[in-house]
Structure 1
Amino acid sequence: MDASLKPYQLVKTLDLTGKKGLVVGIANDQSIAYGCAKHCRAYGAELAVTYLNEKAEKWVRPLAEGLDASLILPLDVQKDGEMEAVFAEIEKSWGKLDFVIHSIAFASREDLHGRVVDCSRDGFMMAMDVSCHSFVRMARLAEPLMTDGGCMMTVSFYGGRKVVEHYNVMGPVKAALEATTKYMAAELGEKGIRVVALSPGPLKTRAASGIDHFDELMEAAAAKAPTHQLATIDDCGSFAAYLVSDLAQSVTGTTLFVDGGYHIVG
């Protein structure tokens, strides 16, 4: 056999043992980020978990400790130096990084509840910075730590592709996030670093509670989805664990839906 034609190594089970990952965006036990962290840990990954501020720490720290997180660190992406401090601690403690899960988004209530054409300049820039550009900054800091390749994952929503009533300014922001995912995947692929976006349907998370008429959106999505039910944070978590594993080594640059098929009929 030609030495270049090596047999494909069959991975029989999903195993994240030895992989080290950063999870950003856990607010409580209903967070998508928590579902992802829970499943990655269950398959053997070692985790670093961040919390937004002192107020959030009392909710996040017990969850992180329950996941045996090696590092529990503060991270407000709008505070200068905090993101750099997180990655410096990861480099000091681990010397490497295998995956990053970015699951944060924010828009001011006034801008989120208003029309896109009425969104303030400052509000638009804040939503874009927290929800999209923070992923770019994380990728820049993670890249030199992913010496053996890795996976960078973010969380999007169907409203970035189609107009979803009341989603407003977050629609353009999520569209930018998905485009950013593609470009970073193209740039980092030669280093074995994959970049993907996970797109759940509407889930009842703390972040979603700020969207007007969200309960109605959830009911409509469940009714229209081929499965007639919404995805859960555990559905997101099990898929995320697969995506950061070696089983998904050729998956990059795309947005993957976990929504019971809602995106094909919505």
Structure 2
Amino acid sequence: MKPLVNLEGKVGLITGIANEKSISTGVAEACAEAGAKLVITYQNDKTRAFIEPVVNRLGVEDVYLLDVTRPETLADVHEKIAARHGKLDFAIHSMAFAKRDDLHGRVVDTSPDGFAMAMDVSTHSFVRLAKMVEPLLERAGGGSLVTMTYLGSEKVIPNYGVMGLCKAALEAATRYMAFELGGKNIRVNAVSPGPLMTRAASGIAGFDGLMATAVERSPMHALVTPEDIGALTAFLVSDAGRLVTGGVHFVDAGYNIMA
């Protein structure tokens, strides 16, 4: 099938792939099919083994360690991209974490350290990633940053807990960075998929019920797939999305519009 957008000649950084069913896997596949040269990161040696099938299938040569809690790994990825490609055209942020008790418990019971950790990994890591890639995007004459959010940022989703606060802050960061980086022709957007079963989602109690409700109540009565998310993200990072910035873009069969 012919790609919907053209990313020939572009270099993109994809973070957050955990396995073949990850949101980032769908994004990587869509971008690769559109012609982009990809750089893929992994969190640690254990996760490296799980992403190997994706790396091999897409023929990705640039695979680097990136643990956002370790600043030296951000610096190392920057140096390697600069040395190998000299520039970067887009970067995808798809990382989030919260302690199980803070995720499933009441927000008012969130521990200070748990709150700080969730915000650091789920929200401020996008800010740090943007700062790291900014000079590489400038070398390309501008580019695109995309992060992954969820409806729990603006609606109360049972068992989503502190992550809802993190996603709300993430969307605010998207808007502020779009303003700050727009003068450098760098666009910043958030993609908000409907519920789909990923490794991260499996840790949310009652998630099967969320998916069933999404099918029942969405106007199109369908669940989103990683391929759907990849198609939207590939558009946002392509020249076709050259004036799209600062937004939260839903891909959820319309579920977000329902009362």
Unaligned runs of 5+ in 2: none
User: 1:13 & 1:127 partners in 2: Cα distance?
Assistant: 35
User: 2:180 & 2:83 partners in 1: Cα distance?
Assistant: 26
Q: Which residue of 1 aligns with 2:78?
A: 87
Write the letter of the residue equivalent to 2:75: E
C-alpha displacement at 1:223, in angstroms?
0.7
Pairing partner for 2:171 from 174, 178, 192: 178
User: 2:7, 2:31 within 8 Å by CA — same for their partners in 1?
Assistant: yes
User: 1:137 & 1:32 partners in 2: Cα distance?
Assistant: 21
User: 1:13 & 1:54 partners in 2: Cα distance?
Assistant: 34
User: 2:20, 2:53 within 8 Å by CA — same for their partners in 1?
Assistant: no
Q: Which residue of 2 aligns with 1:193?
A: 186
Pairing partner for 2:136 from 114, 125, 145: 145
How many residues are matched?
255
User: 1:58 & 1:97 partners in 2: Cα distance?
Assistant: 26
Written as runs of structure 1 = structure 2, the 5 A alignment for 1:36-75 is 36-75=27-66
- Are 1:77 and 2:79 matched, yes or no? no
C-alpha displacement at 1:80, in angstroms?
3.2
User: 1:29, 1:63 within 8 Å by CA — same for their partners in 2?
Assistant: yes
User: 1:107 & 1:46 partners in 2: Cα distance?
Assistant: 32
Percent of aligned pairs with the same amino acid = 52
Q: Which residue of 2 aligns with 1:16?
A: 7
C-alpha displacement at 1:65, in angstroms?
2.4
Write the letter of the residue equivalent to 1:126: M
Q: Which residue of 2 aligns with 1:115?
A: 106
- Are 1:260 and 2:245 matched, yes or no? no
Q: Which residue of 2 aligns with 1:106?
A: 97
C-alpha displacement at 1:110, in angstroms?
1.4
3-state SS, counterpart of residue 131 of structure 2: helix
Unaligned runs of 5+ in 1: 1-11
C-alpha displacement at 1:83, in angstroms?
1.2
Q: Provide the alpha-carbon RMSD of the alignment.
A: 1.1
TM-score w.r.t. the length of structure 1 is 0.94
Larger-Rg structure: 1
Write the letter of the residue equivalent to 1:138: L
Identify the range of structure 1 (218-227 vs 78-87) with the bigger mean alpha-carbon deviation.
78-87
Write the deviation string for residues 137-167 of structure 1: whole angstroms up to 9, x where unpaired: 0100111111211000000000001111111
3-state SS, counterpart of residue 205 of structure 1: coil
Q: Which residue of 1 aligns with 2:148?
A: 155
Pairing partner for 1:245 from 233, 238, 244: 238
TM-score w.r.t. the length of structure 2 is 0.96
3-state SS, counterpart of residue 35 of structure 1: helix
Q: Which residue of 1 aligns with 2:16?
A: 25
User: 2:4, 2:34 within 8 Å by CA — same for their partners in 1?
Assistant: no
3-state SS, counterpart of residue 169 of structure 1: helix
C-alpha displacement at 1:13, in angstroms?
6.1
